[in-house]
Structure 1
Amino acid sequence: MRVPNTLAPPLTAALTIALIFGTGSTATASDDGITVNGEGREVSVASADVSIQLPGALTDTPVETSSIPPGLYRGEGDPLLSTAVSGSTVTSFATQDGVQTLIQIPDASSPSEYRFPLDLPEGGEAALSSDGAVMILDANGDPVSGFREPWAIDAEGNGVPTSFRVEGQELVQIVEFTASTVFPVLADPDLGVEWWGHWVRLTKGETRAAAKIIANNQGPAVLAGVACGALPGPAALGCGAAVALAYFKFVDPVNRASSAGKCVAINYPWTALSTPQIGWVGISVTIVNCTR
């Protein structure tokens, strides 16, 4: 039986830390759950059960944040850790619920891909959602944290196409700038534990059944019956509303999961329970390893 999970609550205290830069330096803030390992170029967030390793070599010059719109930059306090990689600068900052890592790309000769090795929960995985975010799952396939949908902006504040890719235990951010982009470009992987709504994971058999429903064009009502039928009343209504509103978001991940022998999971907002007219925004479908 699929059980909807209430995802991890946000941290209540601001995360702040001071770091002495330099090879081999380590700073720890155990009360806030963040550990910085300078030698390993790694920032660990205990509540997220994840560590992210920055690419490149240590530097004492952090990314400049003053020009980033408040809605995009969520960092607080001093930089945690900074590295330099092929002319670009990468800096991590504490946030209310985790760590935001900023990438500053100086010009068109810089790399367009940035790789971040992850230390995941034992037996867990990183899974790319249909909305571009990345969920971090534990050994039971349940979400414990994740990376929000990425953003990138140029020096004039215009959006630059960007996306995540997951390769094993590496998070890759791709930034699609061109020679005509106004530099510097800023981008971010933002790791946190603030999640909303319900998480419903289908079994392998249910994923195959969903793929068959899609192939036969039986529609969202039949798909909702497979995906949500075993849930308790209110949760089933919310799940059904999510499936109905976001039916076409299911097609590609369900088909790919079924072909690969994997499963899918649905993450949908609390408001879908009482306000189905919210539309498809905020509903994601993630390909995950099957637990049964």
Structure 2
Amino acid sequence: MTAEVIAAPRVLSRAEASTLVGFRVEPQPVTVTTATIARDAATGDPVYAYLPVDGVAGLRRAVLATPWQETFRATSGKRNASRVFGYSPRKVATRRESCNRTALAREAPDTHRVLVDWSARLGETLRAELPEVAADGETQAQRVLPEWRLGEAEPWTSGVVNRTSELPYHRDGFNLPVWSAMPVVRRGVAGGYLHIPEYGAVVECRDGWALFFPGYDLVHGVTPMRTTTDGGYRISVVYYALSGMKDCFTAAVETAHGQATRSKRERDMAARLARGDRGFKRSDPNSQPVVGHGIPKKSAP
């Protein structure tokens, strides 16, 4: 399918769009329903690409088998079901003392394998339609060692699978300046469009289509959803490049570093307990917040 190239006028400044961050997205009429490559009307720079992707049946089976984790979002008053995949950087505050694969790789290896394999399909699509964007992304991704990337030729390190999640306006603040890729599978759900307010675009996010866009730069959010059939779902898979991964050593060095750090922490904890010092909190080692989508808590206006 040939994508239509359109000139997209900017309707909000970056500063104006920033005022929306943290607020829920109101219902919006769809404005982008066909294969589209949008370029800024003033600069000619690419803004987003909305394209069909082939072979979505395997992706659907994989994401429907995802063992979900739920969190509560105060902004919407609803629970959000999601799982991160790929690789995670060090985060000592949650006792993640080395860069490593996410827990999904251990808990659901078949699902994780499909998600990783799909990075190649999406990377190929982006290189074919927007080679300059793909080249820029590769330049940025070279700051990350190859073993922490999802594919040999793809710039992404990580991703998140979201199930029927009405995400408020946000930028992906923890990412490198690399375009995100977001394929969607859905059945029996109305709404759930992606709104990019800076360009007034409301993307349909239909089943088996993918959106490519600079989520690190453009404010975006998901419109409300309504389930129309039993078992309905709208599942997005967002691929991104985490900035923290550029600080990761080789896997062997990370393993040694993590073991040494854990040993030191355990020795320090034992020494403090021996002294009778119990005035500190133990971090939850299983805590794993969704990364790549840093959404601040904010009450709706």
The TM-score bracket by the shorter chain reads under 0.3
Q: TM-score, normalised by structure 1?
A: 0.26
Q: Which has the higher contact order (CA 8 A, sep 6+)?
A: 2
Give the structure with the larger strand fraction.
Answer: 1
